[in-house]
Amino acid sequence: MKGGVIVNQPKLITASLVNREQVTDGLVTIKIRPDIPIRFKPGQYCTVGYKGVERAYSIVSAPHECDLELFVEVLPESEGVLTPLLATLNLGSQLTLRPKCKGIFTLDKKYSSHLMISTVTGIAPYISILRDYFYSDKTGDKFHVLQGASYMDEFVYNTEMVNMVSVHPDSLFYVPTVSRPSESRNISWNGHVGRVNNIVERYIEDIDLNPESTLVYTCGHPGMINSVKELAHSNGFKVKEERFWKD
Ligand SMILES: Cc1cc2nc3c(=O)[nH]c(=O)nc-3n(C[C@H](O)[C@H](O)[C@H](O)COP(=O)(O)OP(=O)(O)OC[C@H]3O[C@@H](n4cnc5c(N)ncnc54)[C@H](O)[C@@H]3O)c2cc1C
């Protein structure tokens, strides 16, 4: 009640946890099934809750899919509240969802070329955008997806990306890079090495991307976002960003 007026709280939607895959010790993908269909634009985030604890998650799935897929970094119990629960709740558990998905980290149609940079879970909104784009048989855009991780097993959507590239070799380009190439977890890695922010400038030069037609998107680790923004701005590019947590 505020000055005698009842302030309407948004009604929460109930959603069941229908699938979870533990990909590494610290990474899970989950699927939740809302009781009623939920509308969103590819690239937006939803707000998921359990017993009143709510957090934002970029949606991996595309609007045509009936379950909402999320890619979650699980924090240790001493540091995080909701993620340790998402990693352990039984399938069938009831979560809540805010009815409105939000965010402006969506595809900017003024540009025909999209340089999408992420660390680990930051790939989530790009997967949604790409699934939707190719499902809808759209054409004419080029997508350059650069993804950084410490370890190769953190490229959870690697197979899907490689498959999409093989079907759309002229419009989708994917460059995963590991920052700790000499560690044993990366022993069979033979791709790019180094932090993703350090390969952006070279990539822009090699591919000859130009700021008039290319928008830079950056999502995930705040330090990576700061570094990419500085570099992109100094090369004349406009940047869209999605921060998962504060520096
Ligand atoms: C728009 C938006 C989209 C997001 N999308 C995703 C997503 O797709 N996947 C995902 O895993 N997270 C995402 N997040 C982060 C998510 O909302 C939670 O903050 C995160 O899951 C931690 O929740 P928690 O309750 O376990 O920990 P909390 O109690 O919320 O956080 C504990 C502390 O850890 C910090 N923190 C949060 N995430 C991380 C991290 N990954 N690494 C280090 N520190 C962190 C928080 O800022 C806080 O200081 C998103 C955040 C925003 C704002």
| pLDDT tens by residue, 136-191 | 999 999 999 999 999 999 999 999 999 999 999 999 999 999 999 999 999 999 99
Q: How does pLDDT run across 186-217, given as a tens digit for each residue?
A: 999 999 999 999 999 999 999 999 999 999 99
Q: Which residue shows structure tokens 């022993």? A: 187
Determine the residue type at 223: G
Residue owning the nearest CA to atom 24 of ligand 1: 80
Tell me whether domains 13-97 and 113-243 share a fold.
no
The first and second tokens of residue 156, run together, are 């959870």
Question: What homologous superfamily does CATH list for 13-97?
Answer: Translation factors (2.40.30.10)
What does the pLDDT read at residue 205? Answer: 95
| Residue 115 reports pLDDT greater than 90 | yes
| Residue 6 reports pLDDT greater than 60 | no
Residue owning the nearest CA to atom 47 of ligand 1: 245
What does the pLDDT read at residue 8? Answer: 61
Instruction: Confirm or reject: Cβ of 245 under 6 Å from ligand 1.
Output: yes
Instruction: Confirm or reject: Cβ of 40 under 6 Å from ligand 1.
Output: no
Domain boundaries, the chain: 13-97, 113-243
Residue owning the nearest CA to atom 35 of ligand 1: 245
Which residues are registered as beta bridge partners of 49? 54, 96
Closest CA to 219 of 106, 143, 142, 135: 106
What does the pLDDT read at residue 108? Answer: 98
Instruction: Confirm or reject: Cβ of 57 under 6 Å from ligand 1.
Output: yes
Mean pLDDT estimate for the chain: 95
| Residue 1 reports pLDDT greater than 50 | no
d(CA 82, ligand 1 centre) in Å? 9
113-243 maps to which CATH number? 3.40.50.80
What does the pLDDT read at residue 247? Answer: 82
Using a pLDDT cut of 70, give the percent of the chain over it. 96
Spatial distance between the Cα atoms of 110 and 132, rounded to a whole number of angstroms:
18
Instruction: Confirm or reject: Cβ of 121 under 6 Å from ligand 1.
Output: yes
pLDDT confidence of 87, banded at 50, 70, 90?
A: very high
Phi, psi (5° rounding) for residue 121?
-70, -15
